[in-house]
Amino acid sequence: MADAFDEMTGVDGTVQPAYGELARWLAEIAPDILAFRRREAEVLFRRFGITFAVYGEAHAQERLIPFDVLPRILAAAEWEMLRAGLEQRVKALNLYIQDIYSRREILKAGVVPEELVFQNPVFRPEMNGLKVPHGIHVHIAGIDVVRTEAETFYVLEDNARTPSGVSYMLENREIMLRLFPELFARHRIAPVENYPDELLAMLNSVAPQNTSTDPTVVLLTPGVYNSAYYEHSFLADKLGIELVEGRDLFVMDQLVYMRTTQGPKRVDVIYRRVDDDFLDPLAFRPDSTLGVPGLMTAYQAGNVTLANAVGTGIADDKAVYSYMPQIIKFYLGAEPILKNVPTWCCREPEHLAYVLDHLEELVIKEVHGSGGYGMLVGPQADKQTIAIFRAKLKTNPKSFVAQPTLALSTCPTCVDEGVAPRHVDLRPFVLTGRDRIRIVPGGLTRVALTKGSLIVNSSQGGGTKDTWVLDQ
């Protein structure tokens, strides 16, 4: 694998303009300042209780995500290109889902194979022909983007179900403002603090037509044991809306109510962070205790908006991903602004044959996997792991896709040895409302803290950075 593009020093060591001030500042400061601020940041995070849970770890029930104190910086022009690409991509995702659950023109045109939709376990027949409020399915999308060269951004993954991480984007900025006022004073940085306001405006805009002018919006969480519970409570607090669990809601005459100390109160919009499967035990998994019995009937009657809609999973798994360039062209008649990583779908025999021949150089992912679990990074894996994946691929090729190992860009990162380059990705959040699409400049930058590692997921030891979009 060739040397990665460094966002501060490029390929030849020349400091990029966006990083000019940061580079000067790093050269000026006393060497122990960064270590000191790092410790300070950790104290702040722990005090605020900003934690997440890692599934499968009995003891580390609440853990901190490591935070890197050096910001990741994007120039205004870079961001503008990204923003346009994200908007285009999310528009196409919404049109695709709308089409799949109604006229299915894209299937008739043979652009996307039918079995990819109908044999997909996240396809929801309950959504067929359903007119969701204002025709929006993906209200909140998190699009994972990586960079390989100065001008080359790839979308790595679309998250169209219940993307998380936005609380870190907001908290990282707050912590940075506290820790590095002098560094901020040297820059003009687009703010992210208005994200909760934008989110609330979007949620208000998508209330069902027949509700009052002042809709009641709630955030539905699986509860305190969910790994993203901190984020749920954080957002509910910032939005000033009730954080509800399934048992706080009930459905009567196809209307949704929450139980309050003053009796039942009608609910119009549910920003739900509960997966489809657990949303309504009468419609989906009957053993779910997290959901609201009858919620789907209220939804189907058009009396409540679910954000995101049910069944959006058909647009974001890794097999559909490989068709995204065609999907964008089909609905928008335009070339994709953001590139797609070339993807081999192992369900197709000739692709599988190629993948099995090149396991050592490819990244293998499960079609329905997430969080960096069940993944093989060929160039970094030992022989035994490769053998295990070879067997998996042969027995169940449909469950896997493969991609070339991208040389993800690096950013200067504060590690034990000092400041060193580490690989990063970026998850910006795209909000689609009735009136318009809103994207707060920036997003969550995740960084692989281990030298050379390409896996940035927090569940695999990744950290986060504040992401700055400069105003020039």
Partner 1 sequence: MLSRTADNLYWLARYVERAEYLARILEVTQRLRTLPLSYAGSSNEWESTLATAGCAHAFSRAYAEANEETVTDFLCFSTANPSSIRNCFEMARGNARAVRTALTVEMWDAINGTWLELQRFGSGTRSHEEFMRFLRWVQESSLRFDGSAYRTMLRNDAYWFSRLGVYMERADNTARILDVKYHLLLPAHERVGGPLDYFQWAAILRSVSALTAYHWVYRDSVKPWLIADLLILRDELPRSLASCYQNLVLYLDHIGRAYGRQGAAQRQAQSIRARIENSRMEEIFQTGLHEFISEFVADNNRLGVTIGEQYLI
Residues lying near partner 1 in the complex (CB under 8 A): 47, 49, 223-224, 229, 233, 236-237, 242-245, 247-248, 258-262
| Rounded-to-integer distance, Cα 52 and Cα 63, Å | 5
* Residue type (1 letter), 240: G
Smallest distance from the beta carbon of 197 to partner 1, in angstroms?
17
Q: Which is nearer to partner 1, 245 or 277 (CB)?
A: 245
Decide whether 143 or 217 has the Cβ nearer to partner 1.
217
Please state the φ and ψ torsions of residue 273, each to the nearest 5 degrees.
Answer: -115, 25
CB of 187: closest distance to partner 1 in angstroms?
Answer: 29
Provide the token pair at 412.
Answer: 């200067």
Closest distance of CB 53 from partner 1, Å: 12
Q: How far is CA 407 from CA 15, 238, 361, 423, 441, in A?
A: 19, 37, 12, 9, 25
Q: Are 203 and 134 contacting, i.e. CB atoms less than 8 angstroms apart?
A: no
Q: Tell me whether residue 104 or residue 238 sits nearer to partner 1 (CB atom).
A: 238
- Residue placing its CB nearer to partner 1 in the complex, 24 or 39: 39
8 Å CB contact between 128 and 100: no
| Shortest Å distance, C-beta 262 to partner 1 | 5
Backbone angles phi, psi at 108, to 5 degrees: -60, -35
CB closer to partner 1, 220 vs 279: 220
Which element (helix H / strand E) includes 320?
Answer: helix 318-321
CA separation for the pair 95, 90 (Å, rounded): 9
Least Å from the CB of residue 61 to partner 1: 11
Shortest distance, position 327 Cβ to partner 1, whole Å: 39
∠ CA 143-144-148, nearest 5°, is 135
Show Cβ contacts of residue 113 under 8 Å, excluding neighbours closer than 6 positions. none
Query: How buried is 320 (Cβ within 10 angstroms: 0-12 exposed, 13-18 middle, 19+ buried)?
Result: buried
Under DSSP, the state recorded for 135 is: G
Measured from the CB atom, the residue of 35 and 224 that comes closer to partner 1 is: 224
Q: Which is nearer to partner 1, 233 or 326 (CB)?
A: 233
Instruction: State the minimum distance, in angstroms, from the CB of residue 43 to partner 1.
Output: 13
